[in-house]
Chains A and B, each alone.
Chain A
């Protein structure tokens, strides 16, 4: 778990350090993709701590959730429905859930 957090911090540092920017129109998609990925990673950490981690599920979930979220947003844009709200609510609540699971496991372990 600590390795994952170190990797995340290192990655953020590399991203900010680089001068790369996304094309302006895709910013909303990337944001929702990040949310989906964060949710997957938290789920992965949670599963890892419970020794239920399966890396195939994790890796496919990581990419599939992000792609699915972006496709949903795109579809929403075509139909003029703000589906990003749905994605934010679902992934947000799942992140909170995962956080509470991690906290519980840490408390029990301690």
Chain B
């Protein structure tokens, strides 16, 4: 009789254990399915991107072929449109578009330690700009200074030099591009915002429907380089 009693306890415990195992089996199975789905959606996205790239390249190929034809027929003229494209590519024009407005300001708190850690540095601006460019920003400016291929962001004592001009906190970084992508490029876990926020640096990101990024105003001086036009024409 007593042994029978134990058997019931054992059975009940086994039943409980069995239920837990069953539920765990469900959990593991569901996780596997969800990771497979994730892989699938990633591949779909990659395929879509590759297709878009292919279509764009095809179109470019067509325009280049027509340009060759124009060359051959001797009717080629560099159009104003092309010039305008190159100017905007070089950052010499004011551009407007949807994008983000990022503001950075020095920390108002000081929890001890190095006072310098609570200030916005040139490196911080550089990493923000770099993330924005990596996320496909089409035009970027810092406190009205357009960031172009020749731009430098350097530290000069208590201020920051951008394009050789002094800028100081609060910094306002404007970027034209896909606002959602730009925002998430800065906000992802372990990203720029995460690395600056422990120091209390005030960083805000606003999505804007119309951001106006100014033109590059510095006179680009080319003293030491010679453009090899002949080589390019070949």
Cβ distance A87 to chain B, nearest Cβ, rounded Å:
15
**Residue A6 CB within 8 A of the other chain:** yes
**Residue A110 CB within 8 A of the other chain:** no
Binding stretch for chain B, among A21-29, A67-75, A78-86, A96-104: A21-29
Which residues of A are found within 8 Å of B3, using beta-carbon distances? Answer: 48, 51, 53
State the CA gap A109–B116 with chains docked (Å).
79
Q: Is the interface of A mostly helix, strand, loop or mixed?
A: helix
State the CA gap A55–B11 with chains docked (Å).
12
Which residues of A are found within 8 Å of B5, using beta-carbon distances? Answer: 55
User: Given A4-B7, A18-B22, A55-B6 in contact, is the A11-B27 Cβ separation under 8 Å?
Assistant: no
Q: By the criterion CB–CB under 8 Å, are A3 and B7 in contact?
A: yes
Pick the contact of A8 from B7, B15, B31 — CB < 8 Å?
Answer: B15
Which residues of A are found within 8 Å of B9, using beta-carbon distances? Answer: 55, 58-59
User: Given A20-B23, A31-B24 in contact, is the A44-B13 Cβ separation under 8 Å?
Assistant: yes
Give the total of A residues in contact with B, Cβ under 8 Å.
Answer: 39
Least CB separation from B12: chain A residue: A7
A9-B18, A14-B18, A21-B23 are known contacts; what are 4 more A-B pairs with Cβ within 8 Å? Answer: A7-B10, A34-B24, A48-B6, A48-B10
A-side residues, CB < 8 A to B, are 3-22, 24, 27, 30-31, 33-34, 37-38, 40-41, 44-45, 48, 51, 53, 55, 58-59, 62
A-B contact pairs, 15 of them (CB 8 A): A4-B7, A4-B11, A4-B14, A7-B14, A7-B15, A9-B18, A11-B14, A12-B18, A12-B19, A12-B22, A15-B25, A30-B23, A44-B13, A51-B3, A59-B9
B-side residues, CB < 8 A to A, are 3, 5-28, 30-31
